[in-house]
Chain A
Amino acid sequence: MITLSDVHKSFGDNHVLRGVDLHVERGTSMVIIGGSGTGKSICIKTVLGLVTPERGTITVDGQDVTQTRDRDAFLARFGMLFQAAALFDSLPVWQNVAFRLMRGSLKRPKDEAREIAIEKLRRVGLTADVADRLPAELSGGMQKRVGLARAIAAEPEIIFFDEPTTGLDPIMAGVINDLIREIVTEMGATTMTITHDMTSVRTIADNVAMLHGGKIRWTGPVADIDAAHDPYLDQFINGRAEGPIETVR
């Protein structure tokens, strides 16, 4: 469904992506792992058009994403949970969740949009009383849940999760991991998740890809990661300081 072929992206002298090839099948959950600053977030941002690659092609259902004529309809197929939730400070929680349902091609009447927002908030374990609060009044875990509710509000076919458990305590991280797995299974969505958290990988992933040196170093089913004889993958998943991946001390 989503294919990246030979994708290159640089920021000045920093060549972040040096020929990424990746394929994500419809209805599956792909988790991209890799060290900090290896370009994992850039990968998903290129698919959404937030970052334009210098070389290579990205297709969704065989269609080149740079050639999409109706950008609104294209983006309506996606939902995204940002690393720090990226909630709009000036809007109450329910309007954040229902943002897409209040404007553009998916616009609904205000009451209906609010009802859907409250239902999605319930789906991520939040009660209706948070609906009228501002994002700044919520804890980090609650903000992440609101971000998750916003990502699924319009029931998109494809959902991206950018470090969904970063900055959360282990229990809240577990709750978010389980929620993502449940929601993905329930909705049958195609997902790409970026994480460093191996518990997330094992809970969320159908397939795993490891990004290192600007390329996909290893990819395969999650069940195979422990048996894969790749020294880079082995070092990463076991969190070892010694190995082929250079660490700065």
Chain B
Amino acid sequence: MRLLAGIGAVTLGLLAAIGRVAMFLGATLTHLVRPPFYPREFALALLNIGWLSLPVVGLTAIFTGGALALQIYAGGARFNAEAVVPQIVAIGMVRELGPVLVGLMIAARVTSSIAAEIATMKVTEQIDALVTLSTHPMKYLTVPRVLAATLAVPLLVGVGDVIGIFGGYAVATGTLGFNAAAYIQNTVDFLELRDVVSSLVKGAVFGCLAALMGCYFGMNSGRGAQGVGRATKGSVEAAAVLILAANFVLTGVFFSV
């Protein structure tokens, strides 16, 4: 009986949390289309989320692409299929690894920073100060960050895909003896428009989720340093899990047929 009560409590808690996040997303969308708008905050968020994430995204992608080429070559050699390295690297990076790894890096870098910043603003009464200065915190803090992440992360994913493929190309042509021109030709021939579109759509969804979780946990932070710490940890956990779950759903939507 106690076990059932425990399961019930966890289920109700989960449903309540989903409801609160859905309401938060609804409020964000409502404020997105209603003035006033804060273009300076949007530009700063775009710079922080997009431009300043480029190094970490680039490094993640190039190493992953290189490792992927080595693994596919070694695995393919077991049944004389070493030649498929360009095709599998391309499809692996564009369909899955590019968006997921960029999404997770954004969760680590951006979600944590948004949650910590907003939670600190909350515990130091800066959010209350915004309200007393006639500025809605959702419009000033949440909308610019969520919008910037939704627009910037697909671009980062696109860059990550290209760099990841380049990583595979560098390894394949440098150490595995592939012909450079043939590698590029095979990659281009094999990729379809659907692969690229799915990659960019995933990037937009993951960016939105990452920023939304940072803002949600920041705005609902507890008191003190411990509250900020919990908000930051919770935001990254939630963003990472939601990104992986959304990836599963989106993969099903794009490629189940």
Contact = CB atoms under 8 A, between A and B. Distances in A.
Contacts of A75: 131-134
Contact of B131 (A48, A84, A105, A150): A48
B134 A72 contact: yes
Contacts of A87: 126, 129
Interface string B90-122: 000000000000000000000000000000110
11 contacts: A45-B128, A49-B131, A50-B131, A75-B134, A80-B129, A84-B125, A87-B126, A88-B130, A89-B120, A89-B121, A89-B126
A76 B131 CA distance: 10
Q: Categorize the interface residue count of chain B.
A: 10 to 19
A83 B125 contact: yes
Contacts of B129: 80, 82, 86-88
Interface string A202-241: 0000000000000000000000000000000000000000
Interface of B: 36, 38, 120-121, 124-126, 128-135
A89 B123 CA distance: 13
A126 to B, nearest CB: 19
Nearest to A83: B125
Nearest to A104: B134
Contact of B134 (A83, A100, A150): A100
Nearest to A101: B133
Contact of A71 (B120, B125, B126, B134): B134
A50 B124 contact: no
A121 B126 CA distance: 20
A78 B36 contact: no
Contacts of B130: 88
A100 B125 contact: no
Interface of A: 45, 48-50, 71-72, 75-76, 78-80, 82-84, 86-89, 99-100, 103-106, 150
B125 A82 contact: yes
Nearest to B44: A90
Contacts of A79: 132
B133 A100 contact: yes
Complex A-B, nearest 3 residue pairs according to Cβ-Cβ distance, in ascending order: A86-B129, A86-B125, A75-B134
A76 to B, nearest CB: 6
A75 B125 CA distance: 17
A72 B139 CA distance: 14
Contacts of A88: 121, 126, 129-130
Contacts of B128: 45, 50, 82, 86
A95 to B, nearest CB: 10
A75 B132 CA distance: 6
B36 A50 contact: no
Given A104-B134, A105-B134, A84 B124 contact: yes
A104 B125 contact: no
A48 B134 CA distance: 11
